[in-house]
Amino acid sequence: MQNIQTRSQSEFMQQFSDFKNEIFTEFRSILKEEINIALSQQKEFYERKICKLEERINDLENGLEEIEQYQRRLCIRIDGVPTTANETADEVFKNTEKLIQEACPDILSSQIDRAHRIGPEYQCFKTKRKCRSIIVRFATFKARTTVYRKRREMKDVKIKLDLTKKRYALFTKCVKDANDVNNNDVDYVYSDINCRLKVVLRNKSEKFFSSFDEYQEIVRMA
C-alpha cells in the first residue's frame, strides 16, 4: 500500500513538474514575443525620430551653406599669380589692384576692399612657377561682377567665383560627369553670377540644381 502511495506521489510530482515546465516554456515564449514587439516598436519610433533629425540637420546645414555663400558674394579668387620671396600683404594688395585695373580701368582703389593670399602653394600649369591663390573682396557686388565679367581679358590668370567648399565640390563633381564621353544629354555645367549652379542640356535648356541627386534627376528627365 505504501509503495502504491509513493508511486502515485512520484507520478504526481513528475506530472506537476512537466506541467510547470510547460507553463514556464509558454510564458517565456509569450514574454519573448512581447519583448520583441516592444523592441520593434521602439526601433521604429527611434528610426523615425533619427530620420526627422537627419532631415532637420540637413536643412540646417543647407541653410548655413547658403548664408556662407551669400557672405562670399562680394569675392573672387585669382589663380596663377606667382609668389615672390618675402612678399608683404601690402605688395599682394597693390599687385592685385594693378592686375584688376589693367582690365577694368573704371574700378577704383576704394572699390577693392581686401586682397590676400589663401590656400597652399602650387605650381601653375602654364608658367610652371609657384603660386598661391588670391582672394579679393570688393566693396560692392557691382564692382565684383564687373571684374568677373572681364576675367578673359586678364592674361595668365584664372578668375573664379568664391564658392563654398561644399558647393565647389558639387560643382567639380557635376563638371566631371558632364564631361563624360558617354553623357550625351549635358552640354556643360556652370555657376551663374550669383553662385547658383546650373546645368545646360544639349537642347539648350538650363536648370538650377543644389545636389548631385537633383542634377542626376534633371539629366535623367532630359
Q: What is the pLDDT along the chain (222 residues), one digit of tens a residue?
A: 545 555 566 776 777 677 777 777 877 788 788 888 888 888 888 889 999 999 999 999 999 999 999 999 999 999 999 998 899 999 999 999 999 999 999 999 999 999 999 999 998 877 788 999 999 999 999 999 999 999 998 888 999 999 999 999 999 999 999 998 788 899 999 999 999 999 999 999 999 999 999 999 999 987
- Predicted local distance difference test score (pLDDT) of residue 3: 55
Query: In this structure, how many other beta carbons lie within 10 angstroms of the beta carbon of residue 113?
Result: 14
Q: Which residues contact 186 (CB under 8 A, 6 or more apart)?
A: 177, 178, 199, 200, 201, 202, 219, 222
Q: Residue 162 gets which letter from DSSP?
A: -
Q: Which three cell numbers stand for residue 22?
A: 510547460
Q: Which residues contact 19 (CB under 8 A, 6 or more apart)?
A: none
Burial 184-205 (b: 16+ CB within 10 A, else e): eebeebbbeeebebbbebeeee
| Stated pTM of the model | 0.74
- Predicted local distance difference test score (pLDDT) of residue 25: 80
Q: Give the C-alpha separation, 120 to 197, whole Å.
A: 26
- Predicted local distance difference test score (pLDDT) of residue 9: 66
- Predicted local distance difference test score (pLDDT) of residue 62: 93
